[in-house]
């Protein structure tokens, strides 16, 4: 018996809402798990050229952890493309002042770049505290495979 390869179509994709509590989870491992869910790589009908991923809500972004000495040594760069327009912030500054941006940048680094990646990243919602405004979607907890289980 021949098995047919499934190619997902944009109008037949079913999407689930997931919620992740980022408390004491390593930033990179959290970002890779969330990126896999946003791309749909955790589904058997994954198709690389179709956005078949799910919606992901991350709460407690300010409680994410970094290993080693990264709070002092890891740097985030922004530039205005003008002379003297380089802004450098450490991971410690980012986690205390801009935790949402820090988590979003980590996840954006792991999704494909281009039109499809921009479409995927719109399904990510990051919040500093434990509350979010998506309770009407009834999100379920995302099963985290490489972090040691969900909390």
pTM of the model: 0.91
Q: Give the domain CATH number at 46.
A: 3.90.1180.10
pLDDT in tens, 46-60: 999 999 999 999 999
pLDDT in tens, 89-144: 999 999 999 999 999 999 999 999 999 999 999 999 999 999 999 999 999 999 98
Please tell me the total count of domains within the chain. 1
Cβ–Cβ contacts within 10 Å for residue 145, how many? 13
Cβ–Cβ contacts within 10 Å for residue 33, how many? 24
Asked whether residue 45 is assigned to any structural domain, the reply reads yes
Tell me which residue range forms the domain holding 123: 15-64+98-141
């Amino acid at each position: 018996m021949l098995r047919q390869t499934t190619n997902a179509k944009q109008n037949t994709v079913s999407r689930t809402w997931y919620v992740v509590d980022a408390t004491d989870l390593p930033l990179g491992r959290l970002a890779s798990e969330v990126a896999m869910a946003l791309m749909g790589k955790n589904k058997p009908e994954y198709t690389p050229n179709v956005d078949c991923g799910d919606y992901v809500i991350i709460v407690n972004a300010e409680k994410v952890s970094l290993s080693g000495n990264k709070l002092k040594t890891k740097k985030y760069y922004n530039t205005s493309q003008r002379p003297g327009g380089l802004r450098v912030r450490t991971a410690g500054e980012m986690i205390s002042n801009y935790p949402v941006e820090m988590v979003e940048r980590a996840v954006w680094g792991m999704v494909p770049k281009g039109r499809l990646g921009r479409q995927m990243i719109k399904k990510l919602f990051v919040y500093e505290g434990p509350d979010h405004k998506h309770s009407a979607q009834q999100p379920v907890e995302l099963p985290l495979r490489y972090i040691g289980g969900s909390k």
